[in-house]
């Protein structure tokens, strides 16, 4: 007997694709600018839109509910006007495996990365499992089970996030980045001053675990530069989806080295550093500034934070306190010397290169003929080296210490040729 579902089941592998196709057909029945905005801001079964005024917001809300009435979606607390993100505690598992841990990680819905610091410990734990080359269904060791249990006990938290983000003509974007030996973090805030008192709200964050292959070879300065490079990519994403392409943005980093690299264009760097510096400098309407580590909210992201503490971390949700003040009271930038105006310093590196063997004994069947040919080649080499004057004197002493003008090869030349082959044979086989 074959049974068929009579409605869309969410949880199957094709469910997201089926949902997207269903919504696309559904939206065709509601043509208009609001539907186009919903399609642009839709993520699976969640949509995040903005409005310039309360009346516009109420109108969009009413129309969107009418469009989605069959879906019965309630993405925020209507009484408190807050987004609610639940970080559930993983259920007890009879047999904990790498597959189960990944399932728990993937089950947390946070596309904007608002609670990313609370998930860093779980990601680092999964990375440690990957380092052990376990199969997906291999049972974890007792120590790993205990470590996962400690992480799980700290979960089970509900985050209530104010839904409203003020965006106006005077708004600016502030991007903070940081790196540690474990993770690279970016958090982005929108600062608005239309209402007089500046307000600042977290709109996006991204935290990446440092890849295993980069942990040993990458120093902290390069990781900080990678964090800044990731930050400008996230900035482009936020600008596009908030329609703030021309809005002034600030990139804040607590790495004086990165600030120096970005302000001294005349310095030469290796390809890795150069490419990332160029990507950052190409970003339009961007000012790079230095911020102290103690007030850098991205430091929370790069080191992680327990969920219970993250709920109360004001600097994470609203940025550092100085953003609530006038710009003149913001941290002053580091005094970076302009190395590009200094006199250039040239360094010369010398390396002795071994001469290639141009006469191979294996090409000859007669020992006497080999020595004669070698003597003639060395005599020719001496004539070339004499043109180098002082630079060729050492090579002359090594290869052709005697000068012969006769057409007949002397016994001394044959002896030098013999020593030449004996020397190279010893170098090759001993």
Domains of the chain (ranges, CATH numbers): 1-73 (no CATH), 79-340 (3.30.420.10), 361-429 (no CATH)
Whether 415 has a pLDDT exceeding 70, the answer reads yes
Residue 52: closest CA among 192, 205, 173, 172: 192
Give the Cα separation of 315 and 319 in Å (integer): 5
Give the Cα separation of 215 and 223 in Å (integer): 10
As beta bridge partners, residue 288 has 251
Provide the 3-class DSSP secondary structure of residue 371. helix
Out of 49-53, 223-227, 296-300, 332-336, least confident range: 332-336
pLDDT of residue 353: 47
Tokens of 360: 């191979």
- Helical residues (DSSP H) of 264-366, grouped into ranges: 271-281, 298-303, 307-311, 314-318
Q: Is 190 exposed, middle or buried (0-12, 13-18, 19+ CB in 10 A)?
A: buried
Tokens of 154: 């700290």
Residues 6+ apart with CB under 8 A from 99: 136, 137
pLDDT digits (tens, 9 = 90+) for 345-402: 555 555 544 545 568 888 888 898 998 888 888 888 777 777 766 555 555 566 666 6
pLDDT digits (tens, 9 = 90+) for 61-73: 888 877 776 444 5
DSSP 89: P
pTM: 0.65
Give the Cα separation of 208 and 231 in Å (integer): 11
pLDDT digits (tens, 9 = 90+) for 321-336: 999 988 888 887 665 5
The distance between the two most distant Cα atoms of the chain, rounded to a whole number of Å, is: 110
- Helical residues (DSSP H) of 92-251, grouped into ranges: 98-106, 116-131, 142-153, 212-215, 220-241
């Amino acid at each position: 007997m074959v049974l068929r579902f009579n409605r869309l089941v969410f949880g199957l592998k094709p469910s997201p694709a089926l949902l997207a196709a269903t919504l696309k057909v559904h939206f065709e029945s509601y043509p208009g600018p609001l539907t186009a905005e919903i399609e642009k801001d839709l993520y699976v079964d969640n949509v995040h839109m903005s409005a310039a005024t309360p009346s516009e917001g109420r109108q969009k809300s009413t129309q969107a509910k009418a469009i989605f009435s069959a879906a019965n979606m309630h993405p925020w607390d209507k009484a408190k006007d807050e987004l609610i993100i639940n970080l559930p505690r993983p259920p007890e598992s009879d047999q904990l495996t790498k597959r189960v841990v990944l399932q728990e990680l993937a089950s947390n819905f946070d596309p904007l990365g608002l609670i990313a610091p609370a998930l860093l410990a779980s990601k680092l734990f999964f990375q440690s499992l990957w380092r052990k080359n376990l199969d997906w269904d291999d049972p974890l060791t007792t120590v790993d089970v205990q470590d996962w249990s400690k992480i799980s006990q700290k979960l089970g938290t509900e985050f209530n996030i104010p839904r409203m983000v003020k965006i106006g003509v005077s708004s600016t974007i502030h991007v903070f980045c940081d790196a540690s030996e474990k993770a690279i973090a970016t958090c982005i805030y929108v600062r608005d001053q239309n209402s007089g008192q500046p307000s600042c709200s977290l709109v996006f964050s991204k935290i990446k675990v440092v890849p295993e292959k980069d942990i040993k070879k990458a120093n902290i300065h390069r990781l900080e530069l990678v964090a800044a490079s990731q930050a400008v990519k996230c900035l482009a994403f936020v600008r596009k989806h908030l329609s703030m392409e021309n809005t002034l943005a600030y990139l804040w980093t607590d790495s004086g080295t990165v600030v120096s690299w970005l302000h001294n264009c005349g310095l030469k760097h290796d390809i890795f550093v150069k490419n990332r510096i160029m990507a950052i400098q190409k970003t339009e309407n961007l000012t790079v500034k230095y911020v102290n580590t103690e007030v850098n909210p991205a430091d929370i992201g790069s080191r992680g934070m327990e969920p219970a503490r993250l709920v109360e971390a004001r600097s994470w949700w609203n940025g550092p306190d100085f953003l609530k003040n006038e710009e003149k009271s913001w941290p002053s930038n580091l005094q970076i010397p302009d190395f590009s105006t200094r006199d250039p310093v040239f360094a010369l590196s010398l390396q002795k290169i071994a001469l290639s063997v141009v006469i191979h004994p294996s090409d000859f069947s007669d020992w006497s003929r080999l020595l004669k040919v070698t003597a003639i080649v060395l005599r020719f080499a001496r004539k070339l080296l004499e043109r180098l004057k002082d630079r060729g004197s050492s090579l002359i002493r090594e290869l052709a210490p005697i000068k012969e003008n006769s057409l007949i090869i002397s016994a001394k030349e044959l002896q030098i040729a013999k020593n030449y082959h004996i020397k190279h044979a010893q170098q090759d086989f001993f």
